[in-house]
Structure 1
Amino acid sequence: MKQLSLPLDFTNSHSQEATWFQEILEALKIKDKSVFPDKFGLSIRQWLDKQNYAPIKTLSLFSGGGGLDIAFHDAGFDIVQMVELEDKYVKTLEKNSISGKWLENSQPICIDIKDFFPSTDLQVDFIIGGPPCQSFSAAGRRAAGVSGTNDSRGTLFKEYVRLLKKLQPKGFLFENVYGIIGSQKGKDWQAIQDAFKNAGYKIYFRILDAADYGVPQHRERLFIVGLKEGNYLFPYPTHGPDSPGQEPLITAKDALIKVDTSESIEEGINGKYGHLLNDIPPGLNYSFYTEEMGHPNPVFSWRSKFSDFLYKADPKMPVRTIKAQGGQYTGPFSWENRKFTIAELKRLQTIPDAYEIVGNRQVCIEQIGNSVPPQLGRILALSILDSVMAVALPFPMHYLPENKQLGFRRRKRQLTKIYAQKAKERIIFLNKNPKSILIKKGATKEQVVRYLSDDFTWSKHQLSQSTKINIEYELNDNCWVIIAQSAEIQENQNEFVIDVLPCWGNENWVLETDKVKLCAKQLDIHLFTALWKAFEEKLLEITGMADLVQLSGYYQYSPKITGIMNFEGELKADILWRILQSSVRGIGVAKQLSASELASLWGVAPKNIFSYLQSLRSIGYEVRNHNTNSQIPQGKYLIPYAFPTLTPRSVQLRKTLGNINE
C-alpha cells in the first residue's frame, strides 16, 4: 500500500536553527535523544543538586502511581508526603521511595483524603495533584452528560481546597480532564474557580496536549496553577509546530528504541474481535470496519464504540491517550498486531525505565493510564521553578502569551483526514480481494437447539437455570425466517411474528435478503428473547457483524432497522406484550423519558411504568435511569434499543433500577 506523506506543517519541518528543545539538551549535555525523558529527568536533578537553593517542600495529593511526583522530584521539588487512597498504588510509591530509588526520601501515606489531617508542624511551599476524573470524563459525556460534582468523586476538589486553606502554600498545580470545563453547562467549572479564589489563590489555566511537550502520546488535559502572589504564564511547547524552532514530535517508534525486551510478548489478540486487528491500518480503530468508512463487510456501526476500541498505534506518530481502564479490545495495540508490554507503555507515558510499577498487568496499566506523563510534568515544574520560585536554570524558558492559541485541535482534524485516506486505500485493496459472505441463491435450512440462561447466556450446551429452545432457520435472498419454540412441542401456528426491515433510506442493508421474520410458536417471553439471540447469532455467523446494535446503529443516531410485531388472532395476554410491540417499533426507545411520558406512549397507567421497566430488564432489554447512570436526571428513563441487548458481559446487568421512589 502506498504510504501517505503528511503535510509540512504536520511533520514539523523546521529550519537549521537550533530549537528550544535542542538548547535544553545541549545545556544538560544530553547527546543521545533515545530515552531522552529519563536522561532529562536525571540531568535536571543532578544539576539542581549542585546548586545552592532551599528545597521546595511539596505535598502530593491523589498521587496514584506517581507521575507528577516523578516530574516535580526531578525538577528539584522535595516531595515530603504523597497521599493516595488505593493500597495497590501505594505499594508502587513505597517501592520507589526507598534509598537509591527514583523518589527516595518521599513518604507515601495510604489514606482517604477526607481523613487526611496534616500535623501542625507540616509546612509546604507547593501542592500538586489532581482528583479522580471519571465524573468529568468522556465516558460520562457518552452516557448522556457529565455527572461532574453530582458524583462524589467530582467533589474531591473541595478536599484539595481544604488543604490549601490549612497549609497555605505559595502555590499549587491541579490536573484534570478538560471535560471539567463543560460539566453541568459550566456551573461546576465556575464553582471550582470560585473555590480556589476564595482560598486566596489567583488561578491560571490551560488545556495542554502532552505530545507538545516531548511525550510520544496525544493526551489533552486541563492544568490549573494557583499562586498566592505573582503571575504565571504556561511554558511554550518544546515539540511540534507551536514550539520555538518547531522540534518534531516524538513518535511511538522512536520512543521504543532500546526498550527492555525481556518481558514476554503475547502474540495476537484473542477473543471474538481479535482477528480484526490485522487488517486495521496503523492509526485507525474499529471504525475501519464501518459502512461510513466504506468497508465492504461492515462489522460495527458508526461511533458505536469508544475510540480506543481496536485502536492500532501508528509508529510514525505519537499514540492516542493510554487509558487506565478498558476491556480486552482497548488499545493502543502495537502496529505489530499485539498488545504493548508494560515496559513499552511506560516509555509511551515517559515513566522512567528504572521506576518500578507494582502489581499485575491490569494494575500496572491503571497506574500508567491515570498518571500525568512525567515529561510534561517536568516542563511545567521547571516553569514554576523559574517564574515562581526564582531559581535560575541553565537554559532559557519560553512562555506562552496569555492569549496565544495552540494548534493541537486543528492538527487533530488534519490527522483525521489523513487516516480516512489510509482507510480508503486499504478498503480498495479489500474490495479487490473480497471475502465472500453472501448467501447463495436458493434456500438454506437448518434446525438447532439452543439454551437461554437467566443471565442471557445463549449457548449450544445446557447450563444451570437455562431454557431449552428449538430454533429453525430458513434463509434465502428474499427473507430470513427464524422460528423458535420451547421444548419438543411442534406447533403449526405462529403466536407472534416480528418483521425486521431496513429503515427508509438505509441503502446499505448488509443482509443479502429483503427482510427477516422472527416467528414464535408459543406466546412465551423466553421465545421473544431467544428469537433476537438467534437472529444475532446468524448475523455474526454470516456477515461477521458484531451484534444487533451494529446492524441498527448506536442509539443516539437514527436507527437503520425497524421492527413490526404482530400477533395471531386476538391477544388475550398481559399488557406487557403490547409494550413489547411498541418497543420493537421504537416507541418509547432511544430517548430519556419520564414515567408519565412512557405511560402516554404505551397506553398504560404511570404508576405501573416502573414495574413494566423491571419486566423489560428481565427479558433482556437495557433500561437505564439515574440509579444506573448518574448522568440521567432523576425521574427519567432510557431504553437505548428496540430489542433486548443484555449479555452476561453487560455492565448494566450488574446494576439495578433501585426502587420506584429512587
Structure 2
Amino acid sequence: MQQLSLPLALPDPEPIKAIWFQEMLQFFGISQCPAWPDRFGLSLHNWLIEQGHSPIKTLSLFSGGGGLDIAFHDAGFDIVLMVELEAKYVQTLKKNSMPGAWLANSKPICIDIREFFPSSDFTVDFIIGGPPCQTFSAAGRRASGVAGISDSRGALFQEYVRLLKTLQPKGFLFENVYGLTGAQKGEAWQEIQNAFQDSGYTIHSRVLDAADYGVPQHRERLFIIGIRKGNYLFPYPTHGPDSPGQEPFYSAGAAVEGADISDAEEGIRGRYGHLLKDIPPGLNYSFYTEEMGHPNPVFSWRSKFSDFLYKADPQMPVRTIKAQGGQYTGPFSWENRRFTVSELKRLQTIPDNYEIVGNQQICIEQIGNSVPPQLGRILALSILEQVMGIKLPFAMPYLPPTKQLGFRQRKRQLTEVYAQKAKAAISNILITKQLTSTSSSRYVNEGKAVRFLSIDFAWNEKEVPDSLKININYNLSNTSWMIIGETGESRKEEYQYIIDICPACGYEDWVLSTNTIKLCAVNLDKRLFTGLWKSFEEKLAEITGMADLVQLSGYYQYPARISGIMTFHSQLKIEPFWRVVQCVVRGIGVANQLSAKRLALLWGVSTDNVFSYLQSLRGMGYEVRNHNTNPQIPKGEYLIPYAFPTLTPKSVQLRKKLG
C-alpha cells in the first residue's frame, strides 16, 4: 500500500495554547448559559476567599456606576474607597456596597477628585479608574477635532497622576476611549505617557475590544497598566478569531435570553420610529441611503452617527452602548423596540443582582459609561498573577508586545457583510412592493398654507407666542417647484428675491422628480427667508420621505449635492448683509473653518463687520460655529456647515452663543 508523504511540521512561532477560557469555566464548574459572566465573577471571588489570599487594597477613581469595581472586587481586590463626583451615580455605589450586596464593605464618597486629598495614613496597593472621555470621543472628532487635555475634563488625568505620586501604589489601571491616542496630533497622548512615567511607573498600553474578552458588545477602549517593578503583558482574548482555539463571540441574542422584559415598550416613537422595522439586524439609518441602494432614500450618507437607528444583530455582539443619545440612538433590539435596562446590563455583563439606581436614562448613562465587568475581570486576573504574584489555577496566555489583534480589520469586513444584507432586504421590499412610489401623482399642483415660525425656529401649523405668520403658496410640477412666501396680508406684484435650487454638478440624479426649485419672497424679511427654506423642507419630507435638507444636500464634510443662487429684484437697494446671505446661499464661505479676514475677502465686506453678520445669520437659523460653541475650532475661525438654515428647537447649537 502506498504511503502518503506528510509535509514537515515547522514550529509555530506562537503555539496554539489550550482553550484557556474553557479551562477557566471548567475549573469553576460553569456552563455557558445566559448570564454566565455573573456566575464566573461570583465563583472567582469565592475561590480567592477560600484560598485565603490577602485582599489587595484598591482605590477606585471616577467610579461611575461601578463597572471596574465589580471586576476587580471579583478578582480579589478590596475596593476600600470609590471616588465619584456625580451624586446620582454614588447612589448606585452605596446601594451595592451594603451588607450582602455585590460590593459589600466598599466605601463610596461623593467628591470632586480635585478636592480629594487622602490622609497621611491612607495606603493602597492599586488604583483603578478612567476620567471622563467626552473630550477625546468620536463626537468630539466629528465636531472638527477634539479638545483633549486642553479641556478641563481632559486634564483630569493630572489629578490621577497627583494621587499616584502621593500614594505610590504597586500599580494602576487607567481606561479611556481609544481616540485619546490621536487627540491633538498625538501631543495629548505623549503628555499623558510622560506624566505617568515621571511618577515612577513603567506603562503598558493597548486598545482592546470588549467582545474579544467575553462581552456581547464591540467596545474599543484604551487600557494603560502602570507598574513600579517587573513586567506586564496583556492577556490573550478569550473569544473571537484572535483567541486560542477561536472561541465564538458571546452573541447579543444569547446574552439577553431570559432577561427581564416586563417593562419593554413596543416600537419606538417619533418621526423616524417607523423606519426601524425594515432595517435588517446589524444595520442603521444608512439602510435608507442612496449609497446602500435604497430607491427612496431618507438620509444622506454619513449624515448621522453610526448608532442612529442602529438595530442589533442577535447573532453577533452589539455595537457600543452609548451613555447618552437622542431618541433614535441604538442599539435597538432586533424585536424592533428599545432594550430594557435588564437587557442592557446583560450586554454590558453587569450582574443581574447588581442594582442600578435611577430612572431609565440615568441607568443607561451608568451602563454606557462603565467598563464591562467581564473584560475588567480578565485584566484584573492578569494583574493578579503578574503584578501581585498570585498563582492562578489555570494557565493564562499572554500577548507578545508586538502581537496585533484583528478587530479593526474584522470591522471593515463586517461592513461588507451588512452591505450585502441591505441589498438583499431592499430587493425583497421591492419584490413585495412594500415601498411607496414617489410618482408624479403624489405631487400637489397648487396649494396654499399658513405657517408660523417661532423664535426657536419651530415650524408650526398653529400660532404660538412671538411667532411670525407666513402665507405660503405652492405651485409644484414635474419640471419645477415654486414656493412663494409673504408675511403681509396683501399680495405684492413682484418678488424681492428668488432662490433657485438645483442639483450640484455631478449630482444631477437627485431624489426629486423635478428639475428646479424656486423659493420666492414677496417681502425682504430675514424670518421669511428662514420660512421659505422650512417650507421647502416640509414639502421635501412630505413628498419624498427624506428627513430634512441636510439629507438632500449631504453631510457638510462632503461636497454639497445641491446648489443655490439668490437673485434680487433689479430695482431693490441691497444692504451689505443681504449680499453676505447671497454668498452663503451660493456656498461661498460655507463648510470650511475660515478666519474673519478670509470671510470678509470672500464676501466682499469689512472684516470689522463679519462677526455681526455671523450673529445675524444665526438669527436666521444658520448653524454658525466658533471656538465658543465648539472648543475644537481654533480661536478666530468660524464654520458655517450648510448653505441653508438648519437650526431647530432640538439643535444643540441653538443653546450656544458665538460670544
**Are the counterparts in 2 of residues 334 and 340 from structure 1 also a CA contact under 8 Å?**
yes
**Following the alignment from structure 2 to structure 1, what is the Cα–Cα distance between the partners of residues 157 and 594?**
33
1:457 counterpart = 2:454: no
- Unmatched 5+ residue regions in structure 2? 1-15
Please name the residue that 1:86 is paired with.
Answer: 86
The secondary structure found in structure 2 opposite 1:53 is coil
1:648 counterpart = 2:649: yes
- Greater shift, 620-629 or 238-247, is seen at 238-247
1:53 counterpart = 2:53: yes
The secondary structure found in structure 1 opposite 2:153 is helix
Where do residues 547-586 of structure 1 align in structure 2 (5 Å cutoff)? 547-586=548-587
**Are the counterparts in 2 of residues 441 and 477 from structure 1 also a CA contact under 8 Å?**
no
User: 1:256 offset after TM fit, Å?
Assistant: 1.1
User: Are the structure 2 counterparts of residues 43 and 466 from structure 1 closer, same or farther at C-alpha, using a change threshold of 3 Å?
Assistant: same
User: 1:442 offset after TM fit, Å?
Assistant: 8.3
Please name the residue that 1:394 is paired with.
Answer: 393
User: 1:505 offset after TM fit, Å?
Assistant: 1.1
Matching residue's letter, 1:400: L
Please name the residue that 2:481 is paired with.
Answer: 480
1:101 counterpart = 2:115: no
Matching residue's letter, 2:559: S
Matching residue's letter, 1:46: N
**Following the alignment from structure 1 to structure 2, what is the Cα–Cα distance between the partners of residues 438 and 301?**
21
Where do residues 232-311 of structure 1 align in structure 2 (5 Å cutoff)? 232-261=232-261, 263-311=262-310
**Following the alignment from structure 1 to structure 2, what is the Cα–Cα distance between the partners of residues 34 and 559?**
48
Please name the residue that 2:534 is paired with.
Answer: 533
User: Are the structure 2 counterparts of residues 436 and 577 from structure 1 closer, same or farther at C-alpha, using a change threshold of 3 Å?
Assistant: same
**Are the counterparts in 1 of residues 443 and 543 from structure 2 also a CA contact under 8 Å?**
no
C-alpha root-mean-square deviation of aligned residues, in Å?
1.2
CA deviation vs aligned residue, 1:147-195 (integer Å, no higher than 9, x gap): 1011111000000000000000000000000000000000000000000
**Are the counterparts in 1 of residues 17 and 244 from structure 2 also a CA contact under 8 Å?**
no
Please name the residue that 1:423 is paired with.
Answer: 422
Please name the residue that 1:161 is paired with.
Answer: 161
User: 1:522 offset after TM fit, Å?
Assistant: 1.3
Please name the residue that 1:10 is paired with.
Answer: none
Please name the residue that 1:75 is paired with.
Answer: 75
Please name the residue that 1:513 is paired with.
Answer: 514
Please name the residue that 1:34 is paired with.
Answer: 34
Where do residues 314-333 of structure 1 align in structure 2 (5 Å cutoff)? 314-333=313-332
CA deviation vs aligned residue, 1:471-523 (integer Å, no higher than 9, x gap): 00111000000000013121121110000000111143100000100001111
Please name the residue that 1:587 is paired with.
Answer: 588
CA deviation vs aligned residue, 1:591-614 (integer Å, no higher than 9, x gap): 000000000001111011110000
**Following the alignment from structure 1 to structure 2, what is the Cα–Cα distance between the partners of residues 102 and 308?**
31
**Are the counterparts in 2 of residues 56 and 77 from structure 1 also a CA contact under 8 Å?**
yes
The secondary structure found in structure 2 opposite 1:656 is coil
User: Are the structure 2 counterparts of residues 495 and 56 from structure 1 closer, same or farther at C-alpha, using a change threshold of 3 Å?
Assistant: same
User: 1:570 offset after TM fit, Å?
Assistant: 3.0
Please name the residue that 2:226 is paired with.
Answer: 226
Please name the residue that 1:134 is paired with.
Answer: 134
**Are the counterparts in 2 of residues 232 and 387 from structure 1 also a CA contact under 8 Å?**
yes
User: 1:220 offset after TM fit, Å?
Assistant: 0.3
Matching residue's letter, 2:402: N
**Are the counterparts in 1 of residues 233 and 400 from structure 2 also a CA contact under 8 Å?**
yes
- Unmatched 5+ residue regions in structure 1? 1-15
Please name the residue that 1:62 is paired with.
Answer: 62
**Following the alignment from structure 1 to structure 2, what is the Cα–Cα distance between the partners of residues 136 and 121?**
35
Please name the residue that 1:377 is paired with.
Answer: 376
Matching residue's letter, 2:49: D
The secondary structure found in structure 1 opposite 2:441 is coil
**Following the alignment from structure 1 to structure 2, what is the Cα–Cα distance between the partners of residues 475 and 257?**
52
CA deviation vs aligned residue, 1:225-253 (integer Å, no higher than 9, x gap): 00000000000000011111111100000
1:124 counterpart = 2:116: no
**Following the alignment from structure 1 to structure 2, what is the Cα–Cα distance between the partners of residues 304 and 182?**
23
**Following the alignment from structure 2 to structure 1, what is the Cα–Cα distance between the partners of residues 398 and 121?**
36
**Following the alignment from structure 2 to structure 1, what is the Cα–Cα distance between the partners of residues 437 and 28?**
60
Please name the residue that 1:621 is paired with.
Answer: 622
TM-score, structure 2 normalization? 0.96
Please name the residue that 2:13 is paired with.
Answer: none
The secondary structure found in structure 1 opposite 2:484 is strand
CA deviation vs aligned residue, 1:341-360 (integer Å, no higher than 9, x gap): 00000000000000000000
**Are the counterparts in 1 of residues 496 and 572 from structure 2 also a CA contact under 8 Å?**
no
1:634 counterpart = 2:635: yes
TM-score, structure 1 normalization? 0.96
1:492 counterpart = 2:503: no
Please name the residue that 2:12 is paired with.
Answer: none
Where do residues 604-615 of structure 1 align in structure 2 (5 Å cutoff)? 604-615=605-616
User: 1:17 offset after TM fit, Å?
Assistant: 9.8
User: 1:440 offset after TM fit, Å?
Assistant: 2.6
Matching residue's letter, 2:65: G
Matching residue's letter, 1:255: A
User: 1:364 offset after TM fit, Å?
Assistant: 0.3
Name the % identity. 69
User: 1:394 offset after TM fit, Å?
Assistant: 1.4
The secondary structure found in structure 2 opposite 1:182 is helix
**Are the counterparts in 2 of residues 212 and 240 from structure 1 also a CA contact under 8 Å?**
yes
**Are the counterparts in 2 of residues 215 and 373 from structure 1 also a CA contact under 8 Å?**
yes
**Are the counterparts in 2 of residues 92 and 357 from structure 1 also a CA contact under 8 Å?**
yes
- Greater shift, 263-272 or 217-226, is seen at 263-272
Please name the residue that 1:9 is paired with.
Answer: none
Matching residue's letter, 1:616: L
**Following the alignment from structure 2 to structure 1, what is the Cα–Cα distance between the partners of residues 400 and 502?**
58
**Following the alignment from structure 1 to structure 2, what is the Cα–Cα distance between the partners of residues 583 and 236?**
54
User: 1:396 offset after TM fit, Å?
Assistant: 1.0
**Are the counterparts in 1 of residues 17 and 397 from structure 2 also a CA contact under 8 Å?**
no
Please name the residue that 1:334 is paired with.
Answer: 333
The secondary structure found in structure 2 opposite 1:627 is coil
Please name the residue that 2:362 is paired with.
Answer: 363
**Following the alignment from structure 2 to structure 1, what is the Cα–Cα distance between the partners of residues 200 and 334?**
49
The secondary structure found in structure 1 opposite 2:472 is strand
User: 1:393 offset after TM fit, Å?
Assistant: 1.4
**Are the counterparts in 1 of residues 442 and 543 from structure 2 also a CA contact under 8 Å?**
no
Please name the residue that 1:185 is paired with.
Answer: 185
CA deviation vs aligned residue, 1:35-94 (integer Å, no higher than 9, x gap): 110000000001001012221000000000000000000000000000000000000000
**Are the counterparts in 2 of residues 441 and 476 from structure 1 also a CA contact under 8 Å?**
no
User: Are the structure 2 counterparts of residues 165 and 17 from structure 1 closer, same or farther at C-alpha, using a change threshold of 3 Å?
Assistant: closer
**Following the alignment from structure 1 to structure 2, what is the Cα–Cα distance between the partners of residues 400 and 73?**
24
User: Are the structure 2 counterparts of residues 174 and 17 from structure 1 closer, same or farther at C-alpha, using a change threshold of 3 Å?
Assistant: closer
**Following the alignment from structure 1 to structure 2, what is the Cα–Cα distance between the partners of residues 172 and 318?**
29
**Following the alignment from structure 1 to structure 2, what is the Cα–Cα distance between the partners of residues 365 and 438?**
43
**Following the alignment from structure 1 to structure 2, what is the Cα–Cα distance between the partners of residues 208 and 393?**
22
**Are the counterparts in 2 of residues 75 and 382 from structure 1 also a CA contact under 8 Å?**
yes
Please name the residue that 1:405 is paired with.
Answer: 404
The secondary structure found in structure 2 opposite 1:631 is coil
Provide the aligned length of Structure 1 versus Structure 2.
642
Matching residue's letter, 1:72: F
Please name the residue that 2:7 is paired with.
Answer: none
The secondary structure found in structure 1 opposite 2:424 is helix
The secondary structure found in structure 1 opposite 2:440 is coil
Please name the residue that 1:11 is paired with.
Answer: none
User: Are the structure 2 counterparts of residues 17 and 389 from structure 1 closer, same or farther at C-alpha, using a change threshold of 3 Å?
Assistant: closer
CA deviation vs aligned residue, 1:625-656 (integer Å, no higher than 9, x gap): 00000110000000000001001110000000
**Following the alignment from structure 1 to structure 2, what is the Cα–Cα distance between the partners of residues 443 and 328?**
32
Matching residue's letter, 1:285: N
User: 1:339 offset after TM fit, Å?
Assistant: 0.2
**Following the alignment from structure 1 to structure 2, what is the Cα–Cα distance between the partners of residues 78 and 136?**
30
**Are the counterparts in 2 of residues 296 and 430 from structure 1 also a CA contact under 8 Å?**
no
Please name the residue that 1:599 is paired with.
Answer: 600
